[in-house]
Structure 1
Amino acid sequence: MLTLFRWLLRLTIALIVLVVLAAVLVWYFAVRSLPDYGASYRMQGLSAPVEIVRSTENVPHIFGQSDTDMFFALGVAHAQDRLFQMILLRRAAQGRLAEVEGSRAFASDALARRLELYRSAAASVDAQDQDTRAALEAYAAGVNQWIAEVNENALGRGAPEFFLYPQQIAFWQPADSLAILKLVAAASSNAAATEVLRARLSLASPQNGPAILAGDGAPAGLPVYASMFGDVRFLQTEPEREQAGVAGLSGFLPTGSGLGGNGFAAAPDRTAAGGALLASDPHGPLTAPSLYYLARLQLSSGGVIGATIPGIPAILSGRNPHLAWGLTPAPVDDADIAIEEVQPGDSDRYRGVDGWTAFTTRREVIRIRDGVDQPILLRSTANGPLVPGLVPGLADVVPQGHVAALRWTGLSPRDSTMSALIALMRAPDTDSAASALSRAVAPPLAAMLADGDGVRMLVAGRQPRRAAEHPSGGAMPAPGWLASAAWSEADPAPADAAATEPSTGILIATEEPGAAALRRDRLTRLLQDREVHSRDSFVAAQLDVVSPAARALLPLVGANLWFAGEPAAAGTVERQRQDALALLAEWDGAMSEHLPEPLIYAAWMRALQDRLIRDELGPLADDIATLRPAFIAAVFRNRDGAAGWCDIVQSAPVEDCTTIARQALDRAILDLAERFGPQVTSWRWGDVHLARHRHPGLGDLPALDWIVNLTQSISGGQFTVAQSGLTGLPQDPFAASSGAGYRGVYDLADPDSSVFITATGQSGHPLSRHYDDFAGLWRRGEYIGMSLDPDLARAAALGVTRLIPEAD
């Protein structure tokens, strides 16, 4: 027995030693991939020495003697800090995520292949102007030199995530940067998803269903969807639901998610210091690291600083010495779904405008890690590629014997948007910026511009021209064989957008319609209520968390509930309802994480909307995940008889809206009391409104998720200027699904006092102190400085990386 005990003790000690050694080895190799910001490197492809000065916040300030060397060094800086992010984005665009993610990424890869994101990007290389091709080639050379440095000196494969992935890192190509820009365009557009939802609502409730999307910008007088297809049947079984959408898999840029953002500006005569002001905060999924990366380049035209996306050699929102700009998705319907009829008896042909026509077909193979490779058949029509699985519910609106094709501006193989972005960085004024942006194709962009003379807003990118007799006006899928459903030539020229009271010197851009329209109204009030503005007033507007939806809906929904009835006994549902209503009656609509009122309001409105629509739509109500304030307002104002939604069709009594409002509030209170206790005043919005910055590669792995993911409570909501969209998912409906990955405010009266921030940090390395050092600042509404003064960058630099031509 004693001998057995000794052997067990020895084995236990040996196992502990092995675990400790394994942990030390993992730590050693992970730390090896942390870049040395004070090192010097000899690299091929440089014409002269370059310095990358890392400011205190780890923002690279790049100094050299030529523009191509600047882009080369930006490639090095991006690869040093965000190589895994770049490779993941490239794989998402190529349709090669399954090679490292396994079978769960198959649907993502299939969709990327069907959209031909990478093929059209590769074809678009020749569409760029000479300066842009030179920039792309120099940037790719810089990325590749860093990859070579990692391989030659065993620098931890460049990022710790790569130890979990079997493939080698392929060298970067100019087409890779264009492919990521295509992925940005695909993520920016939610036009197809909106079309499908309108059609599903029309099928579920032909006369009333689309009213749920009131205020979403659809043209008036939409036809009943089924009427466009005669007597064909709709299965409505959603066989592809489980595979639809690539949202969680491409991570940084979920296709079809509908990126958003705010941009606003004030002319010099509306500012205290006499110089134009501009603010920009693009919205997107919350990830760790953030999609955005801050950088400064010293180009021959002058310094330029702002937000980049690793993999793309351009400042997407920022400033140079004379011009500031912010780019947000424009309110342009840039995609249509065409329903194609397959020829009976011959599945290789479809009904075209001129008769039965053969599909264009191509076969590809998707390789799957630890699985069997899967061949897929890619087919397209004159309207575009067939896209099964494009968005959830698409199968519901495709009649039997038909398939769905996508027509989208982002499919262009002659996309010169990168040239527009590169030229924009060099533009000295708004006229030059407008000329540069004339080359943009996809995504459509609302460009807010400011220079020494004033401010300007324009819409850039190709915009479809639909015929007046288009069967659905582009608002719902339409028969692909009708000539009237086709696009005429898209308009590539930028046009000055309709501004908010332009004569007042204030311009506002949001990704209208829907939620953005409410944010626009709130911004208009904030900006017009002040005679003159400063950088600080623009910061305050950018961080505003007052919900215009709450201010509009609560007086309507609670009109007959405020202070009604006799005082109720403590501990009863009636007393909780009265306490909740008393709080809401004094609330100003601020969605502060420290208050109970935002939580009560959000839960009430969610329960109310579900109660209004569930009886008529059934399971489809689950897909109306976000609040529709315009619909609820129409119901409680009884606009065009909309109060009929308050009557539950399955019950014998006729319910009125006051009854439904009270029942919804009681339901919300019961749910909240079960989770947070009976004391209404102790509830907090921040307990449920959590920003989860998820790592797209490792964020779902046990034991690693707590290292790579960031979670923090935040203020705001779906309709606030400081936007934080709600997931709407049953298990966690109030968590923040999106937000401002970047915020910038540019003051042209004192340009170096401009400020910016990203949501997490500069580094993509989970062991770096710069992985999450911006997260707390971002949550608290704080910023860091934005200066083009080289002395300030050098004054407290973390280090200076020197890149030396190999021949020197």
Structure 2
Amino acid sequence: MLTLFRWLLRLTVGLMILIVLSAGLVWYFAMRSLPNYDGRFSVQGLDSPVEIVRSTENVPHIFARNDTDAFFALGLVHAQDRLFQMTLLRRAAQGRMAEVQGPQALAADVLVRRLEIYRSAQASFDVQDDATKAALRAYADGVNQWIRIVNEGAMGRGAPEFFLYPDVITFWQPADSIAILKLLAASSTTAAADEILRARLSLAWPERGPELIDGPGVPSDLPSYSSIFPDRRLGIPERRRDPDAVRNQGTFLSPTLPVGGNVFGAGPQRTAAEGSLLANDLQTGLTAPSLFYLARIELQGGGVIGATIPGMPLVLSGRSPAFSWGIAPLHIDDADIAIEEVQPGNTNRYRGPRGWTEFETRTETIRVLDGGARTVTLRATQNGPVLSSLDPGLADVIPIGHVAALRWTGLSRQDTTMSSLMALMRSDTAAEAGRALSGIVAPALTVTLADRKQVLRLAAGAAPERGGNHPTAGAMPSPGWLPETAWLGATSLAAEPQGPAVALAFDTDEDPALGMRHKRLEKLLGDRDVHSRDSFIAAQLDVVSPAARALLPLVGADLWFTGEPAAPGTPERQRQDALTLLAEWDGAMNEHLPEPLIYVAWMSALQDRLIRDELGPLADDITQLQPGFIDSVFRNSGGAGAWCNVIQSAVTEDCALIARQSLDRAILDLSARYGSDVASWRWGDAHQARHIHPGLGALSALGWIVNITQSISGGEFTVARTGLLATGPQPFEAVSGAGYRGVYDLADPDSSVFITSTGQSGHPFSRHYDDMAGLWRRGEYVGMSLDPDLARAAAVGVTVLTPTD
């Protein structure tokens, strides 16, 4: 027995030593990949020495003697801090995520291959202007030089994640940057998804279903979807969306969390210092690190500083000494679903306008981690690629014996968006920058430009031209064989800025729901005669919900202060307490208050109760609050009050009853989560922002290290927007938000400020991995000066690149 004890003791001690040694080895190799910002490197591809000064917040200031060397250095610093992020974005654009993430990423890879995003990027490189081609090549050379430095110096493979993934880091190609821009475009449009959802709603309730969601260009007399396909068999819409799919994204850009943003400006007539102001925030899925990376590049035309995305040599939002620019996705209908009939008995042919036509077909092989290789057959029609997994609900709207194809402006192989954004960044004046926008294809953008004297707001992108006899005006899928559904062409939205200086300009949106946020912004800008940088910051961080202010008086009209006070501890008393709090609330979605939590839970329960009996399982897929719909129902606009009646019940319910029942349901659920004391609830306890590391964040042990969690204010319809998960056990979790914020002051340019949601480094063991997260949460910023002396004064490191002899 004693011998057994001794052997068990030895085994335990040995295992402990092995664990300590393994942990030490992991730590050693992980720390090897932390870059030394005081390094001096001899590199190939430079014409002259380059100095990279890292400011206190690790923002690189790149000083080069020519533009080619500057873009080379930008590629190197991107790879230095975000190599894993860059390779993951590239894999997503190439359809090669399954190689490192296994079968769960296969569907996304197949979709990207069907869309031919990378093939389109390769073809589009040839149509870029010479300056852009040179910048893309120089950027790629810089990335590849850092990979060479990592390999030759045994620097931990460049990022600790590469020790956990079976990944070989291939050299960067110029087309890789264009592919990431196309991936950004795919994540900036919801047009196709809206078409599909609108058709599913029409199938569920032809008379009223589509009014649940609205959008730009949707005709009021939209026909029922089933009438568009007479004599074709369509199924009953089912629940199709996976509640976990929204959060378990495997990359930094995903159509399930579309890119959004706000941009607004004021001309010198409306500013205290008589110089224009511009504010911009870019909203994405919350990831660690953020999608965005702050950088300054000294170009021959002057310095530029602002938000970049690692993988592209672009400052997407920022400023130069002469002017500033901000962008936001422009919500236009830039995509259509074409339903194609497959020839009976011959699946290789489909019905075209002139009869049965052969599909364009090719096969591709996708390697899957731990699953071998999968061969997929990719087909296309004259309308575009044939899709099966564009949206989970697509299967509901495809008649039996048919397939769906996608028309989308982003499929263009003559896409000069990269050249236009490059020209915008390198322009000398705001007017010149405006003229550069004509080549933007996708994503469609609202671009606001400001110099000391004026603010200009322009739309940019390719807008499809549809005939007046199109059966759905592009609002729902339509028969691909009908000539009237074909696009007549595409119109460039960009126009040369004209007219006098604009005093106030702000991003507008034709979507009524999102428009509520912009109306709030319009009020904030209009309430002051004179603006300053601080007032713009306050507007950008505003957390008052216009949706709450609009809906609560309407929904609760018959519930306020009715009846005698109920006994403490009863459900009736909880309802009265909740209504009392909401009656005195100003709509601020403050993390320390209970009212936002009560409001969101109530409206969510109300919307579900209104649509559940008419839509059935499809209601599970309607997770985002639709304030315009609820407003129409409670005002009975066009008979929309019919949604309040529960079809399955014998009695006829009115909207006041549904509102009370929904509030009781919400209070019951919140009490189970947070206790019975309504006044003790806090929005921030439920509204947690989880910045998840793509790839490692889903692993419980590593997720604790690489994910960043913090409670925040705001909501779906506040200017400082945070998108809600709206499903599953944590429905109030924030899944998207402003990954980047910037406020640019043209009266005193070096007082401009910016911030990202996490930090500059993608290395979890770097102090710059999350050092901006606390500032971002508190609504603070860091300076964005172009003064080289200021950058050097508090530098955390200076890297010198010299040409190889």
TM-score (norm 2): 0.98
Instruction: Name the CA distance, whole Å, in 1 between partners of 2:720 and 2:442.
Output: 26
Residue equivalent to 2:724: 726
Alignment of 1:664-743 (within 5 A): 664-743=662-741
| Structure 1 residues 178 and 215: CA distance shift in structure 2, 3 A | closer
User: Is 1:513 aligned to residue 499 of structure 2?
Assistant: no
TM-aligned CA deviation for residue 503 of structure 1: 8.3
Deviations 1:176-204 (A, max 9, x none): 00000010000001111100000000000
Instruction: Name the CA distance, whole Å, in 1 between partners of 2:750 and 2:364.
Output: 52
| Structure 1 residues 497 and 588: CA distance shift in structure 2, 3 A | farther
Q: Is the 8 A contact 2:387 2:405 kept in 1?
A: yes
Equivalent of residue 762 in structure 1, options 756, 760, 763: 760
**Secondary structure, counterpart of 1:495 in structure 2:** coil
Deviations 1:742-790 (A, max 9, x none): 0000000000000000000000000000000010100000000010000
Q: Is the 8 A contact 2:250 2:695 kept in 1?
A: no
Residue equivalent to 1:620: 618
Amino acid at match of 1:703: A
Instruction: Name the CA distance, whole Å, in 2 between partners of 1:94 and 1:440.
Output: 22
Instruction: Name the CA distance, whole Å, in 2 between partners of 1:515 and 1:496.
Output: 30
User: Is 1:528 aligned to residue 526 of structure 2?
Assistant: yes
Unmatched segments (≥5 aa) in structure 2? none
Amino acid at match of 1:15: L
Residue equivalent to 1:477: 477
Residue equivalent to 1:794: 792
Residue equivalent to 1:777: 775
Deviations 1:690-723 (A, max 9, x none): 1110101101112100001111110000000000
Q: Is the 8 A contact 2:266 2:503 kept in 1?
A: yes
**Secondary structure, counterpart of 1:386 in structure 2:** strand
Residue equivalent to 2:181: 181
User: Is 1:442 aligned to residue 422 of structure 2?
Assistant: no
Instruction: Name the CA distance, whole Å, in 2 between partners of 1:92 and 1:745.
Output: 31
Q: Is the 8 A contact 1:261 1:510 kept in 2?
A: no
RMSD: 1.7
Aligned length: 805
Residue equivalent to 1:119: 119
Residue equivalent to 1:644: 642
Q: Is the 8 A contact 1:238 1:395 kept in 2?
A: no
TM-aligned CA deviation for residue 133 of structure 1: 0.4
Instruction: Name the CA distance, whole Å, in 1 between partners of 2:489 and 2:797.
Output: 52
Residue equivalent to 1:218: 218
**Secondary structure, counterpart of 2:407 in structure 1:** strand
Instruction: Name the CA distance, whole Å, in 2 between partners of 1:678 and 1:496.
Output: 60
User: Is 1:751 aligned to residue 760 of structure 2?
Assistant: no
TM-aligned CA deviation for residue 258 of structure 1: 2.8
Residue equivalent to 1:281: 281
Q: Is the 8 A contact 2:76 2:142 kept in 1?
A: yes
Deviations 1:327-361 (A, max 9, x none): 11012111110001111111111111111110000
Instruction: Name the CA distance, whole Å, in 2 between partners of 1:79 and 1:545.
Output: 36
Q: Is the 8 A contact 2:435 2:497 kept in 1?
A: no
**Secondary structure, counterpart of 1:399 in structure 2:** coil
Alignment of 1:571-610 (within 5 A): 571-610=569-608
Instruction: Name the CA distance, whole Å, in 2 between partners of 1:679 and 1:150.
Output: 57
**Secondary structure, counterpart of 2:58 in structure 1:** coil
**Secondary structure, counterpart of 1:704 in structure 2:** helix
Residue equivalent to 1:101: 101
Q: Is the 8 A contact 1:323 1:430 kept in 2?
A: yes
TM-aligned CA deviation for residue 236 of structure 1: 3.9
Instruction: Name the CA distance, whole Å, in 2 between partners of 1:663 and 1:60.
Output: 56
**Secondary structure, counterpart of 1:773 in structure 2:** coil
| Structure 1 residues 488 and 506: CA distance shift in structure 2, 3 A | same
TM-aligned CA deviation for residue 241 of structure 1: 5.8
User: Is 1:268 aligned to residue 290 of structure 2?
Assistant: no
TM-aligned CA deviation for residue 728 of structure 1: 1.2
Instruction: Name the CA distance, whole Å, in 1 between partners of 2:461 and 2:626.
Output: 29
Q: Is the 8 A contact 1:217 1:513 kept in 2?
A: no
Unmatched segments (≥5 aa) in structure 1? none
User: Is 1:360 aligned to residue 351 of structure 2?
Assistant: no
Instruction: Name the CA distance, whole Å, in 1 between partners of 2:489 and 2:47.
Output: 43
Deviations 1:383-419 (A, max 9, x none): 0001111011000000011100000000011111111
Q: Does 464-473 or 136-145 show the bigger shift?
A: 464-473
Equivalent of residue 550 in structure 2, options 529, 549, 552: 552
**Secondary structure, counterpart of 2:726 in structure 1:** coil
| Structure 1 residues 244 and 701: CA distance shift in structure 2, 3 A | closer
Q: Is the 8 A contact 1:76 1:146 kept in 2?
A: yes
Instruction: Name the CA distance, whole Å, in 1 between partners of 2:239 and 2:521.
Output: 43
Instruction: Name the CA distance, whole Å, in 2 between partners of 1:568 and 1:671.
Output: 20
TM-aligned CA deviation for residue 239 of structure 1: 10
Q: Is the 8 A contact 1:244 1:389 kept in 2?
A: no
Amino acid at match of 1:165: Y
Amino acid at match of 2:628: A
Amino acid at match of 1:258: P
TM-aligned CA deviation for residue 512 of structure 1: 4.2
Q: Does 248-257 or 535-544 show the bigger shift?
A: 248-257
**Secondary structure, counterpart of 1:12 in structure 2:** helix
**Secondary structure, counterpart of 1:613 in structure 2:** helix
Deviations 1:501-541 (A, max 9, x none): x9871111145414320111000000011001000000000
Identical aligned residues as a percent: 66
Q: Does 731-740 or 12-21 show the bigger shift?
A: 731-740
Instruction: Name the CA distance, whole Å, in 1 between partners of 2:288 and 2:217.
Output: 33
Q: Is the 8 A contact 2:325 2:448 kept in 1?
A: yes
Instruction: Name the CA distance, whole Å, in 1 between partners of 2:502 and 2:580.
Output: 39
TM-aligned CA deviation for residue 428 of structure 1: 1.7
Instruction: Name the CA distance, whole Å, in 1 between partners of 2:540 and 2:168.
Output: 43
Residue equivalent to 2:76: 76
**Secondary structure, counterpart of 1:367 in structure 2:** strand
Instruction: Name the CA distance, whole Å, in 1 between partners of 2:114 and 2:155.
Output: 36
Alignment of 1:248-267 (within 5 A): 248-255=248-255, 257-267=257-267
Instruction: Name the CA distance, whole Å, in 2 between partners of 1:377 and 1:438.
Output: 36
Alignment of 1:390-469 (within 5 A): 390-469=390-469
Q: Does 246-255 or 282-291 show the bigger shift?
A: 246-255
TM-aligned CA deviation for residue 167 of structure 1: 2.5
Instruction: Name the CA distance, whole Å, in 2 between partners of 1:239 and 1:728.
Output: 15
Deviations 1:136-180 (A, max 9, x none): 000000000000111111100000000011131000000000000
**Secondary structure, counterpart of 1:251 in structure 2:** coil
Q: Is the 8 A contact 2:246 2:725 kept in 1?
A: no
Q: Is the 8 A contact 2:68 2:138 kept in 1?
A: yes
Instruction: Name the CA distance, whole Å, in 2 between partners of 1:149 and 1:292.
Output: 24
**Secondary structure, counterpart of 2:387 in structure 1:** coil
TM-aligned CA deviation for residue 242 of structure 1: 6.3
TM-aligned CA deviation for residue 249 of structure 1: 3.9
User: Is 1:196 aligned to residue 205 of structure 2?
Assistant: no
Residue equivalent to 1:13: 13
Q: Does 161-170 or 717-726 show the bigger shift?
A: 161-170
Residue equivalent to 2:146: 146
Instruction: Name the CA distance, whole Å, in 1 between partners of 2:677 and 2:666.
Output: 14
**Secondary structure, counterpart of 2:263 in structure 1:** strand
Residue equivalent to 1:308: 308
Residue equivalent to 2:565: 567
Deviations 1:79-101 (A, max 9, x none): 00000000000000000011111
Residue equivalent to 2:331: 331
Instruction: Name the CA distance, whole Å, in 2 between partners of 1:681 and 1:602.
Output: 15
TM-aligned CA deviation for residue 10 of structure 1: 1.2
Residue equivalent to 2:165: 165
| Structure 1 residues 558 and 564: CA distance shift in structure 2, 3 A | same
Instruction: Name the CA distance, whole Å, in 2 between partners of 1:207 and 1:511.
Output: 27
